Chain A
Amino acid sequence: MVDALDREPAPIAGQAEDEAVVVAPRGGVPSWLITTGSVVFVLVTWQLCGPYINPLFGTYPTAIVAAFWKLVSSGKLAAALADSLRPFAAGYALAILVGIPLGLLIGRFRVLEAAIGIYVTAGFAMPLVALVPLLVLWLGLGFAVKVAIIFLMSVFPICINTWLGVTAVPKTLIEVGKSFVAPHHVILRRIIFPATLPYIMAGVRLAVGRAVVAMVIAEFFTSISGLGAIIQTSANNFDTATTFVPIVIIMLLAVSLNFFVGAIERWVAPWQAEIAGRDQQ
C-alpha cells in the first residue's frame, strides 16, 4: 500500500509551489537499542541483588529462568498457555465483532446514542471484578464465563473509541461525499469508516491490555486453570520463582499483542502515521 513515492520527502505546505524541502531523518540512538539497554540493565541489577533476597518472598532472573525450563519441559506451561489463550481469543474476537459495529451505529445515529450510550459509558467505568460473582451465578465456572469476563472488559474501549471516531469525522469530508451525490451507504462505507479506522485501531489496541487483565481475573475467580492456576498454586507453595514465570509470560503476551495490533494498525490505516510524521522518526 505504501509505494516508493511515499518515501519521498514531503513538500512543506506554505512553501513556494514546486520547492520540496529535504527532510533529513533524525539522528541519534535508535529507540529499540535504548529499550533493550534499559531491560538488560534492570535484569542485571535484579540478578545481582539475587543472593540477598529471601527465596520465600522474592526471586531473581536466573531462578525464574530455571523455573521456566522446568515448566516447559514438563509440558505444563504449554498446556496452561493454551488453556488461557482459548477464552482470551474468543472473548477478544467477540469484543471486536460486537464493539466496532455498535460503536459505528451509536456514533452515527443520535437516537441510538441517546438510548444505548449511557450503558456503554457505565460499562466502561464499571470495575469488572464486582460483576464476577454475578457472572459465575449466571454462567457457571467454565469456558463461557471466562469468555464473558474477557468480552465485557474489552468491548467497551473498542466501542467507545469507534463511537468517538465517528463523531470526530470532519463534517466537511461528509459534505464532499454529498457534493458528489454519494448515497448514504456509500458515505458510511467510503468516508466515515476509513476516517474512523485510526480511532477503531486505537480502541482495539487499548482493549488488548484490558483483555489480558480480564483473562487473569477470570482464572483467579472462576475455575482455576491455565496460567492463573500456576500463579495461584506456586504462590501458595511459596515457590516465588515459579510464580513469576506466568507473570512474565503474561507481560510478554500483552507487549507482543500490543506490538502486533500496532503493526496491523499501520497496515490497515497507513495514512495516519504518515500524517503524524511518525514514520519518519
Chain B
Amino acid sequence: MGEVNLINVSKQFMLRIDGKLHAVKALDRVSFSVHEGEIVALIGPSGCGKTTALRVAMGLETASGGKVTVDGREVKGCGHDRGMVFQFAELLPWLTALQNVMFGLEMKGMRGAQLRATATRYLELVGLNDSLNRRPHQLSGGMKQRVGIARALAIDPKVLLMDEPFGALDAQTREIMQAELLDIHARTKKTILFVTHDLDEAVLIADRIVVLKNGRVQEIMAVPLPRPRPDLGVVRGLPEFAATRYRVWQALHQSGDTLH
C-alpha cells in the first residue's frame, strides 16, 4: 500500500528560447522507489528536475518516456491515491480553512455531515482546530501550509507528494513544521516523497535521500538515523546526522559520472 516506483522516467520540454524551439531534457531515465511507509527526500541543485519528477509522479505532467507506478498500477493523470502539497499552500482564497479541506473531500465524493466531520478531524490533526473559519489571508504562512497538508491528508491518499513544503517559511516555522511532519508520519504511517533543497531537512526527516543532478539520479543513500526520530534537536547532535549531511553535500558538489 503506497509503494511508488519511478521507472526510467524521462521528461522533455519544448521551450522557445530566442525565437527558436529547443528540446530541454528535464529528466533523463530517472528510476527510484519509495517503499510503503517510507519517507524519501528528493534533493538537488536548482533546475535539476526534482519538482518535475514530483509533478510527473503526481500526474500533473506526463512523462515523455518511462512510467510511474503506484502499487504496481501505472499513473495516468492525477488520482485520489496521491495527495499533493504545494510549495505555497495554494489554498482557495475565498474559502475558509475548513472549506478548503472540505473541497478535496468533495472532489472525492464525500457529502453531508461526514464531510464536515472529516475535514475538522484533519485540521485538528495539524493543530488548527481554532482556525477553522479563518480565510487564508488571515492565516500565517505556517498555518496555511498546515491547511495544505490537512487538505492532502484528508482524502486519505496512499502517497503524500510534497513540493518544497517548507521552503516558503521562515527558519523557526520550518523547524516546527518539520517536527510536525514527523509526528504526522508517525501517526498516519503515510508514504511520503518530498522535494527539498535544504540538506538539513532531507537528513532530519527522510529514510532515504535521492540526489538528482541535471535530470539524472546521482546517488541514492540511506539515512542511518533511528525511526521514529527522537527530538530533532537531539538528532542534530548525533554524529550520524553530520556524517550523512556531509555525504549529501559531497554528492551535490561532485562532478563526474552519474548513476543510471
Contact = CB atoms under 8 A, between A and B. Distances in A.
Nearest to B55: A175
Contacts of B133: 3, 5-6
A205 B196 CA distance: 45
B72 interface: no
Contacts of A5: 133-134, 138
A172 B78 contact: no
A179 B82 CA distance: 8
B176 A6 contact: no
B86 A275 contact: no
B140 A15 contact: yes
B170 to A, nearest CB: 5
Interface of B: 58-60, 77-80, 82-84, 86, 88, 90, 92-94, 103-104, 107-108, 133-135, 137-144, 155, 170, 172-173, 176
Given A172-B90, A176-B92, A16 B172 contact: yes
A195 B91 CA distance: 12
19 contacts: A3-B133, A5-B134, A8-B138, A10-B137, A11-B140, A17-B143, A17-B176, A170-B90, A172-B88, A176-B86, A180-B80, A180-B108, A181-B78, A181-B79, A181-B107, A186-B107, A191-B92, A197-B94, A271-B137
Contacts, number: 85
Interface residues of A, number: 33
5 tightest Cβ-Cβ pairs between the two chains A and B: A180-B107, A179-B84, A11-B140, A13-B141, A10-B138
A178 B142 CA distance: 24
A11 B139 contact: yes
Nearest to A20: B140
Contact of A194 (B80, B88, B92, B141): B92
A171 to B, nearest CB: 10
Nearest to B91: A176
B144 to A, nearest CB: 8
A173 interface: yes
Nearest to B105: A180
B137 A175 contact: no
A17 B84 contact: no
Contacts of B135: 6, 271, 274
Contact of B92 (A15, A173, A179, A269): A173
Given A180-B78, A182-B107, A274 B90 contact: no
A205 to B, nearest CB: 19
Nearest to A183: B107
Interface in A162-219: 170, 172-173, 175-182, 186, 190-191, 194-195, 197
A269 B60 contact: no
A28 interface: no
A139 interface: no
